[in-house]
Amino acid sequence: MKPSEKFNRESRDAEKRASRHADEERLKAGEDPAVLQRENSIFPEEFFRNARISNLKRAIGR
């Protein structure tokens, strides 16, 4: 969105409602909740598995 564009809260709320409704219907149809969670996550699938925590070694050594 460009800085000059005004954010349309109603439109965004309607999109979120529609998405939640679609997810609910998929769950009712028996779809695996983990699949929906994966699709709705902002993080890539391997993000946390491959994450490096830079200060972990120092924190464990205390």
The radius of gyration of the chain from alpha carbons, rounded to an integer in Å, stands at 19
**Reported pTM:** 0.60
Q: Which pLDDT belongs to residue 6? A: 81
Q: Which pLDDT belongs to residue 44? A: 81
**pLDDT under 70: residue ranges of the chain:** 1-4, 56-62
Q: Which pLDDT belongs to residue 57? A: 62
Helix (H, G, I), strand (E, B) or coil at 22: helix
CA–CA distances in Å: residue 9 to residues 1, 15, 22, 26: 13, 10, 20, 26
